[in-house]
A = this chain, B = another copy of it.
Amino acid sequence: MGKKYRVGILGATGTVGQRFIQLLESHPQFEVSALAASDRSQGKTYGAACSWRLPGEMPEAVRGLKVGAPAPPMDCELVFSSLPGDIARETEESFARAGYAVISNSSALRMDEDVPLLIPEVNHEHLAQLDAQKASRSLDRGMIVTNPNCSTIMLALALAPLHARFGIEACVATTLQALSGAGYPGVASLDAADNVLPFIGGEEEKIETETLKILGRHEGGRIQPAPFKVSAQVHRVNVSDGHMAAVRVKLARPASQGELREAFASFTSLPQELKLHTAPRSPIIVRDEPDRPQPRLDRDAGRGMSVTVGRILADKVLDYRFVALSHNTVRGAAGAAILNAELLVATGRL
Contacts and interface: CB of A to CB of B under 8 A. Distances in A.
A208 to B, nearest CB: 6
Interface residues of A, number: 61
A98 interface: no
A198 B239 contact: no
A316 B232 CA distance: 8
A254 B104 CA distance: 43
Nearest to A233: B246
Contacts of A294: 191, 195-198
A135 interface: no
Contacts of A189: 179, 186-189, 191-193, 238
A317 B231 contact: yes
B188 A184 contact: yes
A117 interface: no
A49 to B, nearest CB: 14
A197 B238 contact: no
Nearest to A183: B190
B237 A176 contact: yes
Interface of A: 15, 53-56, 170-172, 174, 176, 179-180, 184-199, 208, 229-231, 233, 235, 237-240, 244, 246, 248, 290-301, 310-311, 315-318, 321, 323
5 contacts: A53-B191, A195-B294, A195-B296, A197-B294, A198-B291
Query: Closest 8 interchain pairs by CB?
Result: A185-B188, A189-B192, A174-B174, A231-B317, A199-B291, A233-B246, A195-B296, A187-B189
